[in-house]
Amino acid sequence: MSYHGPHGYRHTNRHRLPQMQVVSNDTSSSHVVLAKGAVIFLAGRGLGRLFALVSQAILARLLAPAAFGLFALGWTVFRLAEAIGPLGLQAGALRFASATAARDPSSARPTVLRATRMAALSGLLLSVVTFLFAQPLAVHVFHKPTATVILRWFAVGFPFLTVLIVAAGATQALQTTRYVAAVRELGQPMLIALLAPAAVLAGFGVRGAAAGAVIATAVAGTAALVLAAKLFPKGAQTDVGISSRALLAVSIPAAAASTFRLLLSWTDRLVVGAYLPSASLGAYHAAAQLAAVLSMLVMGFSGILAAMIVAALATGEEHRARSLYQTSTKWMLYLATPIFVPLVIAPGDVLTTIFGPAYACAGTALRVLALGQGLSLLTGAVGTLLVMTGHERQWVLVAGVSCATNIGLSLWLTPRWGLAGAAGSTTVALTLLTILGVVFASRALGGPCVNFKALKPLAIIALTLLVGFFALPHLPASPAVRLLILLALAAAMLGGGLVILGLDTEERELYAAVRGPGRPRS
């Protein structure tokens, strides 16, 4: 095998991946597999995000802004546990299982089950610690004593959350995203959307909302564990899999980087919770939830891209790995256009339509956050790339520096500029992440990680924003109607731009695969 960089696989035999025959050595078919995996994941993630937004909007209307702020605080801690609790074992399991799982699923079983057991133990320990220290956190850190019970409720769900993340994530080693999309991306949010509001309507208040989220996670985690055991069956030969030490050697740096990356996205909410009233936190949380929709595009490509990059590098096809990464980045920008444009042009209308007029005060913060999230798409799935190519330490550096920048700026700007200061801090940190990410990703790929083809979606986005800002004063006064018009405008500009600028080879290959060999050209 030939790998680039000081932290590549060549420098040690301990982490060397086994040779394999990949599903396809043809670059065109690889692009189709990439697109199919991303579409399946994004369909599940999109529906899951829709359920999440609906449940958040319902909770925001059922609960007072202060009570919703307490739920947002507990939910923020729950999301942080998502990065810390699994110890990055989902990345280690995916990296070591991807080289052979598509050909022989039973070969990955010992590694997947070992990673899942370790994740369950880690989640349990984190749960105990959080439960015991919930009161000091609520009183001395967040200055909200009533948040103690909420934090303890969410702490109960940590072990189920870590099992869900690792067991469901490992199924992507089979070069498919249907299982993680169904169980984790769609199943958990759908259950939360059903159980959390139902508990509030039953009279249990914000505590019931927290309990509903935990029960939903427990059900989804159990389903993921059962599914992984079925998809990775016992083999005829005894195989002990990758050792715990080798798993942790990859997983711990990946976990550190994942924690930094998640903190980058959630530090602003923690600082807002510490310095501003609960009502302000509720409004800011609503804005951050909407801006985070853009980040789901990266997640949509990350899992399938990770398995395909490992498979390509296992056969020495660095050029195919680079082509897949560049294509995924370009497609993320295309898909972001209809989401990005309304968030930047009319953020107040988006907040009013989805969460209600009381949350429109975070409009400026939403616009700034959307700009930062949109810019970060230029790096694509940089974290996945660096971890899968043995450059996890560089990913720790990139994410750590960006996170530290966000923490410092948030503590300085939030008390002075309020919600806009918190959003600005995050956007500056995401800008830094983009710059460093492009540099390190290009080194890992042995060539530019973004090529000139990315200029097409960037040109379409810029022109759409220009037309949208010009048209905004002439649109109807209703926030919902204005939002629908902007969505239609963005979709029309995207379609027209693709027709005028033309399709690249990857899009034509994808179109041919969708059209099928037996269908005549239109």
Q: pLDDT (tens digit, 9 = 90+) per residue, 26-38?
A: 455 667 777 776 6
CA gap 49, 157 in Å, rounded: 20
Please report the pLDDT score of residue 151 as a whole number: 92
The reply to whether 262 falls in a domain is yes
Contact call for residues 325 and 385 (beta carbons, < 8 A): yes
Distance CA 96, CA 169 (A): 13
Residues in CB range of 117: below 8 A, 6 or more apart: none
Looking at the fold, whether 375 and 353 belong to one and the same domain comes out as yes
CB 289 within 8 A of CB 53: yes
Residue with tokens 């290959």: 509
C-alpha span between 52 and 228 (Å, rounded): 25
Give pLDDT tens digits for 341-370: 999 999 999 999 988 888 899 999 999 999
Given 242, 274, 309, the domain boundary residue is 242
Residue corresponding to tokens 């800002």: 469
Q: Is 272 found in the same domain as 237?
A: no
Closest by CA position to 200, among listed 346, 18, 361, 56: 56
Record the pTM.
0.67
**pLDDT in the model for residue 316:** 72
Q: Residue 517, exposed/middle/buried by CB under 10 A (0-12, 13-18, 19+)?
A: exposed
State residue 6's pLDDT score: 33
Does 12 map to a domain?
no
Confirm whether 290 is domain-assigned.
yes
Eight-state DSSP code of residue 243? -
Q: How far apart are CA 471 and CA 479, in angstroms?
A: 14
Phi-psi region of 18 (alpha: psi -120 to 50; beta: other; left: phi over 0): beta
Torsions phi, psi for 36 (to 5 deg)? -65, -45
* 195/298 same-domain check: no
Burial of 242 from C-beta contacts in 10 A (0-12 / 13-18 / 19+): buried
Residue 484 within a domain: yes
Residues 232 and 293 in one domain: no
Element (H, E) at 52: helix 27-62
* Tokens describing residue 174: 């089979």
Q: Are residues 302 and 207 in the same domain?
A: no
The answer as to whether 209 is a domain residue is yes
Give pLDDT, residue 175: 74
Structural domain contains residue 24: no
Length of the chain: 522
One domain for residues 341 and 433:
yes
3-state secondary structure 259-316: HHHHHHHHHHHHHHHHHCCHHHHHHHHHHHHHHHHHHHHHHHHHHHHHHHHHHHHHCC
Phi and psi (nearest 5°) for 85?
Answer: -60, -45
Cβ(131)–Cβ(192) below 8 Å: no
Which tokens in the block code for residue 165? 């993340």
Mark whether 319 and 335 lie in a shared domain: yes
Q: Do 194 and 265 belong together in one domain?
A: no
Write down which residue in 242, 259, 278 finishes a domain: 242
3-state helix/strand/coil string of 378-401: HHCCHHHHHHHCCCHHHHHHHHHH
Cα angle, residue 292 at apex, residues 415 and 350 outer, rounded to 5°: 85
Please check whether residue 449 is in contact with residue 326, taking contact to mean a CB–CB distance below 8 angstroms.
yes
Range of the domain at 81: 40-242
What's the domain count of the chain?
2
Query: Per the structure block, which two tokens stand in for 128?
Result: 């105990």
Compute the C-alpha angle 337/343/345, nearest 5°: 95
Residue type, 320: R
What pLDDT is stored for residue 419 in this prediction?
A: 92
Rounded CA separation 440/203 (Å): 52
C-alpha distances out from residue 393 to 183, 267, 312, Å: 30, 22, 21
- Asked if 235 and 303 sit in the same domain, the reply is no
Low-confidence ranges of the chain (pLDDT < 50): 1-26, 518-522
Assess whether 237 and 143 both reside in one domain: yes
Tokens for 410?
């948030």
Residue 521, in any domain of the structure: no
Q: Do 167 and 294 share a domain, yes or no?
A: no
Do 107 and 56 fall within a single domain? yes
The number of beta carbons lying within 10 Å of the beta carbon of residue 169 is: 27
* Structural domain includes residue 30: no
Instruction: Tell me the C-alpha distance between 424 and 409, whole Å.
Output: 8
Residue whose pair of structure tokens reads 């969410």 in the numeric block:
154
Last residue of a domain, one of 242, 271, 304: 242
